[in-house]
Structure 1
Amino acid sequence: MNLTQLIELYRGPLVGLIASWGAPWGDAKEIAQDSFAEAYLKRESCRGDWEQPEVFGVWLRGVARNRHRNWARSRKRRRNHITSVEPTVLESVAAPPETKPSPELEQLRAAIEQLPTRQRQVILMHYLEETSVKEVAILLEISAKTVEGRLYQARRALRRMLDGKVSSTQIGRMLLCL
């Protein structure tokens, strides 16, 4: 497989996985891009036949995990480094205010954050990155049935957290809007 094929196969699930580890979406996309580049350039170090999607997926996940750890460490160091900027400079470069998301979406986001890690991972990978169950299973090294079970449990938990006012189908639609 060439790099383009591997990116097409794993981009969505990898970004979702990195986001489930705590990286914001923009950073998760960058970490994923860097992970693809590093994994592909160092593919000869991969144990097994890297051209097999299952083998490369596991290799890619390990590279992404290391990239995410490095990103988290540097982010922590940057937070500890305080700089002083004049208020007029801040006003000149300030981004325009974003439109406020609906209360239902805010409530759903908060509910997703309360899910157990395993359920949050599959929800983010499957719905937000629109990744197939099979691709999620390969990256997480679990069976497709396990992914389906976690998705079911996560949707059920979200429905309970949202006071049962929303059906599983509505939750799925709302997840696609995040």
Structure 2
Amino acid sequence: MSLDPTAADQALARRAAEGDDRAFAELVRRHKDGLYRLLRRYTGNPDDAYEAAHEAFIAAWGALRRYDPARPFGAWLRTIAINKARDRSRRSKVRRLLFGDRPIEESGAMQAADPACGAEETLFQIQRARMLDRAIAALPPQLKEPLLLTGFEGLSQQEAGAVLGVSAKTIETRAYRARKILAARLGGSMT
């Protein structure tokens, strides 16, 4: 009988903290895709997301001895990742202030286009996905983070609150406000 994912993560984290490199590699394998998706949506840029995920795993490796097994490993890792994304955002703002704006890189759509659609519909889907990426990335962090954690990562409001250190009601309110802003910017209903 296998362990539930949370218990398995906790066991792997314990082994990794004791120096088992393979246990940490398994944690990375289990969480890298979800963490990248979260950071991709947070940053709006695939390269920044990749770098932030890399930094998050490095920081997690260094902090494993401080990990509290009473807390889900995934939530702990997301907290580190969001902090790394915030750090990157602050550094980027300072660079822009010092060196001026750099061109915004166009990234590919986050989802593959439906092969059953025609070329025009496929192009529309890709453009819509890019618009959504940019609109989410432009949200202030206090609105973006609850939206990403609950709307895209599937965390409950209580779990997202634990990651961000706020109440479930605050998460609910901020995610609602984020959806309203996105709906207004994208000309549709997301509420």
**TM-score when scaled to structure 2?**
0.51
Confirm or deny that 1:132 pairs with 2:142: no
Letter in 1 for 2:160: V
CA–CA distance in structure 2, aligned partners of residues 59 and 16 of structure 1: 11
1:172: which partner in 2? none
Deviations 1:64-91, CA, capped at 9 Å, x for gaps: 7479748x87xx8xxx9xxxxxxxxxxx
> Aligned with 1:102: secondary structure?
helix
CA–CA distance in structure 1, aligned partners of residues 176 and 82 of structure 2: 26
The answer (yes or no) to whether the contact 1:155–1:168 under 8 Å persists in 2 is yes
Task: Indicate the RMSD between aligned Cα atoms, in angstroms.
Answer: 4.5
2:57: which partner in 1? 33
CA–CA distance in structure 1, aligned partners of residues 177 and 81 of structure 2: 29
The answer (yes or no) to whether the contact 2:76–2:163 under 8 Å persists in 1 is yes
CA–CA distance in structure 1, aligned partners of residues 142 and 86 of structure 2: 17
2:11: which partner in 1? 2
Letter in 2 for 1:2: A
The answer (yes or no) to whether the contact 2:42–2:137 under 8 Å persists in 1 is no
The answer (yes or no) to whether the contact 1:112–1:120 under 8 Å persists in 2 is yes
Return the offset for 1:148.
1.2
Unaligned runs of 5+ in 1: 81-96, 170-178
CA–CA distance in structure 1, aligned partners of residues 85 and 133 of structure 2: 25
Q: How does 1:133-148 map to 2 (within 5 A)?
A: 133-148=157-172
Return the offset for 1:159.
0.7
The answer (yes or no) to whether the contact 1:159–1:168 under 8 Å persists in 2 is yes
Return the offset for 1:13.
7.0
Which protein has greater RCO, CA pairs closer than 8 Å, 6+ apart? 1
Q: Percent of aligned positions with the same letter in both sequences?
A: 24
CA–CA distance in structure 1, aligned partners of residues 149 and 180 of structure 2: 17
2:42: which partner in 1? 20
Unaligned runs of 5+ in 2: 1-9, 15-26, 100-107, 114-122
The answer (yes or no) to whether the contact 2:41–2:137 under 8 Å persists in 1 is no
2:189: which partner in 1? 167
CA–CA distance in structure 1, aligned partners of residues 160 and 71 of structure 2: 12
**TM-score when scaled to structure 1?**
0.54
Deviations 1:69-124, CA, capped at 9 Å, x for gaps: 48x87xx8xxx9xxxxxxxxxxxxxxxx9987622112212221332221111222
Q: How does 1:59-74 map to 2 (within 5 A)?
A: 61=79, 65=83, 69=87
The answer (yes or no) to whether the contact 1:18–1:68 under 8 Å persists in 2 is no
Letter in 2 for 1:16: L
The answer (yes or no) to whether the contact 2:56–2:77 under 8 Å persists in 1 is no
The answer (yes or no) to whether the contact 2:146–2:171 under 8 Å persists in 1 is yes
Q: How does 1:150-165 map to 2 (within 5 A)?
A: 150-163=174-187
Letter in 1 for 2:140: P
